[in-house]
Amino acid sequence: MRQHLPVLCAETVAALLAVEGEQKTFIDATFGRGGHSQALLHGLAADARLIVIDRDPAAIAAAQALAETDDRVVVCHGAFSELTELLASVEVTQADGILLDIGVSSPQIDEADRGFSFQLDGPLDMRMDPTSGTSAADWLNTAEPDEISYVLRNLGEERFARRIARAIVAARPLHTTRSLAEVVSQAQPASRERGKHPATRSFQAIRMHVNDELGELATALRAAFEILRPGGRLAIITFHSLEDRLVKRAFRELSSPPQLPRRLPVRGDQQQPRGRLVGGPLRAGPRELADNPRARSATLRILERAQ
Ligand SMILES: C[S@@+](CC[C@H](N)C(=O)[O-])C[C@H]1O[C@@H](n2cnc3c(N)ncnc32)[C@H](O)[C@@H]1O
């Protein structure tokens, strides 16, 4: 199994550790295998805390192993859309820095049993938390063709969404990743996009739907901003254009003066933006890309809370 290489790690950690003032409480809401967490821990004081969250039980097992060797680490299992509640359960109401490194980890893809990969045969699951929610098989075997087509087109930018959705419905019930990969591949013209597996877009779209990845991000982003103390920073790494657009728009709104009704008396501080963009979007450089091709679609954005 591949090791998960943390993407834009030095840049992310440097931005989070550049917060002015207190550096007591940091949150890694996407622990994965802890690449970013370990780099953050190197820079944190002995009395700081790092709360680590993941919805994947395998990631949580890795987090617990780290917590046994470092008592600054506090582990929470759950979805980051429930950030406020998860943090309340460990008595955290404010943070100096928060990281969201969106998407899946390399071990999730490489473990056939998790059902994420079109290259390995396994049960058609794709849930990051296999203990809750609906598996890819349950969804694909019951959804309306229009719903499947909508997901493939919107989350996967799949040109042949309608054809693929019809082929999936005709082949039901589907239970394995290999059978889905074959159905998806056969529904497309053989000549399409050399170099890219024909099931890439569909698998990505189905995974994003099954885990409600855009909904999770939209909710967590707002919750994370509210938890930051003034001067605290939120760093978000995305791997998909729809996710990056969502982050870009939310960051733009939070760093612009609020829209207030005209002619109402307002205090000066009510006219100030609540956040400040820290630099522009960051992408991996050639050296990182040579070691880690997964970094090619990554974008890091950073927002600082102003008040
Ligand atoms: C790209 S990996 C993070 C890798 C990590 N930064 C590292 O260096 O190892 C994303 C992780 O976030 C988790 N994740 C994705 N969506 C989540 C959500 N909505 N709530 C909690 N964890 C989530 C996944 O299970 C996965 O382990």
- Amino acid identity, position 124: L
Q: Is residue 231 part of a domain?
A: yes
75 and 218 together in one domain: yes
CB of 52 closer than 8 Å to CB of 37 = yes
100 and 218 together in one domain: yes
Global confidence as pTM: 0.95
Closest atom, ligand 1, to C-alpha of 5: 8
Distance from residue 272's CA to the centre of ligand 1 (Å) = 33
CB atoms within 10 A of CB 22: 12
300 and 227 together in one domain: yes
pLDDT of residue 257: 86
Distance from residue 102's CA to the centre of ligand 1 (Å) = 6
95 and 217 together in one domain: yes
Distance from residue 80's CA to the centre of ligand 1 (Å) = 9
CB of 65 closer than 8 Å to CB of 59 = no
pLDDT of residue 193: 67
Q: Is residue 288 part of a domain?
A: yes
194 and 232 together in one domain: no
Domain extent at residue 256: 9-106+213-305
* Number of domains, the chain: 2
Burial of 63 (0-12, 13-18, 19+ CB in 10 A): buried
- Ligand 1, pocket-test mutation among 7, 11, 87, 105, most atoms within 8 A of CB: 105
**Residue 68 belongs to domain with CATH number:** 3.40.50.150
Q: Is residue 123 part of a domain?
A: no
Q: Is residue 119 part of a domain?
A: no
24 and 149 together in one domain: no
Q: Is residue 83 part of a domain?
A: yes
Tell me which of 210, 243, 267 is where a domain ends: 210
196 and 226 together in one domain: no
List, for residues 191-200, the tens digit of each pLDDT value: 666 678 899 9
94 and 231 together in one domain: yes
**Residue 155 belongs to domain with CATH number:** 1.10.150.170
Residue whose Cα lies nearest atom 24 of ligand 1: it is 104
Q: Is residue 117 part of a domain?
A: no
pLDDT over 80 (residue 190): no
List, for residues 280-306, the tens digit of each pLDDT value: 999 999 999 999 988 999 999 999 999
Q: Is residue 114 part of a domain?
A: no
pLDDT of residue 121: 94
List, for residues 11-68, the tens digit of each pLDDT value: 999 999 999 999 999 999 999 999 999 999 999 999 999 999 999 999 999 999 999 9
58 phi/psi in degrees, rounded to 5: -70, -35
Q: Is residue 1 part of a domain?
A: no
223: enclosing H helix or E strand: helix 213-227
